[in-house]
Amino acid sequence: MTPDAGTDTRPAPRPHHERRPRLESLFPPALFTAGLVALGWALVREGGHGSEPRHRAQAVVIGLYLLWTLLELRVTFRAAPQAAGGDDRGTMQWYGAARGAVVAAALFVAPWWQGWGPGQWLAAAVFVCGAALRLAAIRRLGRFYSHKVRTLGDHEVVTDGPYRVVRHPAYSGMVLAHAGFVGVLANPLSVAAFLALLLPAVVLRIRAEERALTDLRGYAAYARHRKRLIPAVW
């Protein structure tokens, strides 16, 4: 049957509430891809300065950040189909955007220091320790870890490894790593993004996670004896 001339045969647009989950599911891989491009470009830029010590050292740190990002590849893309559900309350998007803002500001704005000294070595060491702590925490949680706040039906409270010290060591590692990264490539914008965007985003993420974990058997007892992010502080 041929449709009438005045009939609109185009499919009806999806309602807004159906499009939003689709957009949210694209956020983790899109941010990951943008991060790889930015880090790769910065690595080539620093490498183009030849054997100058500061640029060579900065290239190593940027390369390590790139490696760290790749090591979280599976978790990042596993989060994509989960992005529209769970108990996230929108914190994943803010957290991811805040992290991206810190990295972009560090990579694309000229740093305060024009040399490489003990302060930069210390910052680089803090970065490496933070990234290592985060990866160890993710590895220990295994399939229970996700960039998306949610609990599984057989979710268990993990109390050993880095979780023996604080309740959220993956976030402790994230904060340490970015404090070190900003220390290596410090400028007013990267410091401001770290303090005003990333730290509040981490706090909101932790609060969202703890709301989801409250009813998990054994979590209340575990939480009573450990701080969230920094031992003996918070």
CATH classification of the domain holding 50: 1.20.120.1630
What's the mean per-residue pLDDT of the chain? 83
pLDDT reported for residue 113: 86
- One-character DSSP codes across the chain: -PPPTT---SPPPPPHHHHHHHHHHHHHHHHHHHHHHHHHHHHHHHHTTTT-HHHHHHHHHHHHHHHHHHHTHHHHHHHGGGTTSSS-TTHHHHHHHHHHHHHHHHHHS--S-SS--HHHHHHHHHHHHHHHHHHHHHHHHGGG--SS----TT-----SGGGGTBS-HHHHHHHHHHHHHHHHT--HHHHHHIIIIIHHHHHHHHHHHHHHHTTSTTHHHHHHTSBSSSTTT-
Residue 224 has pLDDT above 80, yes or no: yes
Q: How many structural domains comprise the chain?
A: 1
The proportion of the chain whose per-residue pLDDT surpasses 70, expressed as a percent, equals 78
> Does 231 fall in a domain?
no
The Cβ-side half-sphere exposure at 10, using a 13 Å CA radius, reads 5
> Does 59 fall in a domain?
yes
> Does 3 fall in a domain?
no
> Does 233 fall in a domain?
no
Q: For 72-99, how does the pLDDT look when each residue is reduced to its tens digit (9 = 90+)? A: 887 766 654 444 445 666 788 889 999 9
Q: Could you tell me the pTM of the whole model?
A: 0.84
> Does 19 fall in a domain?
no
Q: For 15-41, how does the pLDDT look when each residue is reduced to its tens digit (9 = 90+)? A: 544 455 566 677 778 888 999 999 999
226 vs 8: which has the higher pLDDT: 226
Highest mean pLDDT among 45-54, 164-173, 207-216: 164-173
> Does 17 fall in a domain?
no
> Does 160 fall in a domain?
yes
> Does 18 fall in a domain?
no
pLDDT band at residue 142 using 50, 70 and 90 as cut-offs = confident
Range of the domain at 157: 26-224
Q: For 177-202, how does the pLDDT look when each residue is reduced to its tens digit (9 = 90+)? A: 999 999 999 999 999 999 999 999 99
